[in-house]
Structure 1
Amino acid sequence: MTTISTDVDVHGVVVVTIGHPPVNLMTVAMFRELATEFERLAADDTVRAVIIRSSDPEWFIAHFDVEAILGFPAEQPAATELNNFHVMCETLRTMPKPTIAEIDGRVGGGGSELALSCDMRFASPSAIFNQPEVALGILPGGSGTVRLPRLVGRGRALEAILGCDDIDAATAERWGWVNRVMPADELTSFVDRLARRIASFPAHAVAAAKASVVAADGTLTDDLLAEGTAFNMTLGGDGTQEAMQRFIDLGGQTPEGERRLGELAGELAAE
């Protein structure tokens, strides 16, 4: 693996660390490594909990690679099965062990959708959340339109998804986007302690309790398929290719551009 690393401790807690400079962009290569690793961890009975964190305090995951999306076919059929990104996210949501996202710094787009798919999210005060897709002529097609409303409610989800603006950590906590915000120097120790505490409990009880909570979500498949179809349709939408190219031209996917992602998204319509 070249974009992530995995470590396991004596308690069966696995830490997946993202390290893909300069902004932890979710390239196709990173996506494949994450999806493969999550599938492996889900099936490994010795794994008792999974933590996802970044090696760079400025970036959790910027978002999915827009240059890669530019290469997607503009004409795609309606979704009849979950796409690979949806499958990865559902693996995080349904695996029989807790999944915890530790968010320090910026997270957007597909990175945000990955975090939304985890059972719990904890953040530092410097965390910033953004779903920039609509400004680029597409929509959050990796489960964001399905998961975010369930966490924060319809109105707040639409503010984030349609507004494409930065959401600070304090607002995200107030909305329920994250479980808690805590000082950066306490975040990792808190997440580690929580994961090890859960890992110390009988595995069958943890799995059964999580499965019961997952069942209370209801079946998400139809909603995810509808989202996938909608995403496919936007790829050929009027101005979509141009908006994504403007995003790149204005500094998207560079540290300078990503540090002001909310402002940059607003500038796309002004071009």
Structure 2
Amino acid sequence: MGDITGTAQDGVLVLRLVNGKANALTSAMAAQLIAMLSDIPDDIGAVLVTGTAGGAFCAGSDIRELARLQDTPDGPASMLRIESRALRALAGLPLPTIAAIDGIAFGGGMELAAACDIVLAGDQARFCLPEVKLGVFPGIGGTVWIPRRIGHVRALEMMLTGQEIDAATAHRWNFVNRLAGAASAEADALDLARALAAGPRGAVAMIKRSLRDALALPEDEALDAALDRAVSLGHAPESREGLRAFLAREAPDFASARRRPADETR
């Protein structure tokens, strides 16, 4: 059946896929992910998605479940829809999201990584979109998010051929933001997630939303929306704390600013 565990570490929600050696994604796990993402505690400032420590990130959708569903009236529709909902929920979070990959990220696993803001990979990480070899294609996010990272031509080649690429190639193609150093990708990703979790939540959310608008809206509309959001932050507690700390040559304490009563920020 598989599982997704959630643990809080220093303001970071660590979501770990646990389903045997391959960490294939099941419908039940997708439902778990949706539930977890809809109820993130207030003290969480970043989300880290990973797989087995030192092993597979995610080998994609559970093939055995897909095979069973093929003989039902609706086929794999229910599974694909709930997986799509889960990945969209992850992509739409206002918090920074990081994927830490130390093993395989194939099919839906690569799509899951693409739904995150930042991808870190270890030396043993490998990436592949092999769905075409099964007579299907990456339809739960891959055709949208992966070309945005690596470009149309490379995404098309990966999807048409099912070719596998290593971590260095994925980094060179901009799918992977950073390659892990001596530590595992998960260790490096957790350090980064902790730093991001300490940042200003309002600005982070507006950065993410404004960048999405830049892809979806006409240029003038996207520019106006970004400007409106920037103006709205002018009197926010986190903005005041950032400016105060800069002028005082101190590190900002955004967490304290968020807890401060509104009348104390004026």
What is the TM-score of this pair, normalised by structure 1? 0.72
Cα 1:186/1:25, change in 2 over 3 Å: closer
Segments of 4+ moved more than 3 angstroms: 72-77
Residue 189 (structure 1) shift = 3.3
Aligned to 1:12: 11
Cα distance change of structure 1 residues 155 and 203 upon mapping to structure 2, 3 Å threshold: same
Distance between the aligned counterparts of 1:76 and 1:29, measured in 2?
Answer: 17
* Partner of residue 154 from structure 1, selected from 138, 152, 155: 152
Where structure 2 has 5 or more consecutive residues not aligned to the other structure, the ranges are: 218-266
1:186 shift after superposition = 4.9
- Compare CA radii of gyration and give the structure with the larger one: 2
Secondary structure of 2:194's aligned partner: helix
CA distance in 2, matches of 1:49, 1:120: 11
Contact residue 21 and residue 55 of structure 2 kept, 8 A: no
CA distance in 2, matches of 1:210, 1:29: 28
- Runs of 5+ unmatched residues, structure 1: 220-271
Residue 213 of structure 2 is matched in structure 1 by 215
Whichever residue aligns with residue 168 of structure 1, its letter is D
State, as a whole percentage, how many aligned pairs show the same letter: 37
Measured in 1, the distance between the counterparts of 2:72 and 2:152 equals 29
Map Cα deviations across residues 83-117 of structure 1 (whole Å, 9 max, x no partner). Answer: 33222212111211001000010111111111100
Q: CA deviation at 1:151?
A: 0.9
Deviation at 1:16, TM superposition (A): 0.8
Once residues 23 and 186 of structure 1 are traced to their aligned partners in structure 2, the CA distance between those partners, rounded to angstroms, is 18
User: Residues 175-210 of structure 1, C-alpha deviation per residue, up to 9 Å, x if partnerless?
Assistant: 011101123525333212221111112221221222
Letter in 2 for 1:5: T
Q: Distance in 2 between matches of 1:189 and 1:68?
A: 32
After superposition, residues 193-232 of structure 1 pair within 5 angstroms as: 193-218=191-216
Q: Is 2:106 aligned against 1:108?
A: yes
Counterpart in the other structure of 2:230? none
Q: Matches of residues 105-144 of structure 1 in structure 2 within 5 Å?
A: 105-144=103-142
Root-mean-square deviation (CA, aligned residues, Å) is 2.3
- Seen in structure 2, the aligned counterparts of structure 1 residues 39 and 121 have a Cα distance that, compared at 3 Å, is same
The answer to whether the 8 Å contact 2:101/2:186 transfers is: no
Given the two structures, how large is their TM-score scaled by the length of structure 2?
0.73
Aligned-partner residue type, residue 19 of structure 1: V
Q: CA deviation at 1:121?
A: 0.5
- CA 175–56 in structure 1, closer or farther in 2 if over 3 Å, else same: same
Equivalences for 1:238-249 in 2 at 5 Å?
none
* Cα contact 1:104–1:184 (8 A) shared by 2: no
Separation of aligned partners in 2, 1:127 and 1:54:
12
Contact 1:129 1:166 in 2 (8 A): yes
SS of corresponding position for 1:83: helix
- C-alpha displacement of 1:50: 0.2
The aligned length equals 213
Question: What letter is aligned with 2:31?
Answer: R
What is the CA distance between 1:2 and its match in structure 2?
5.5
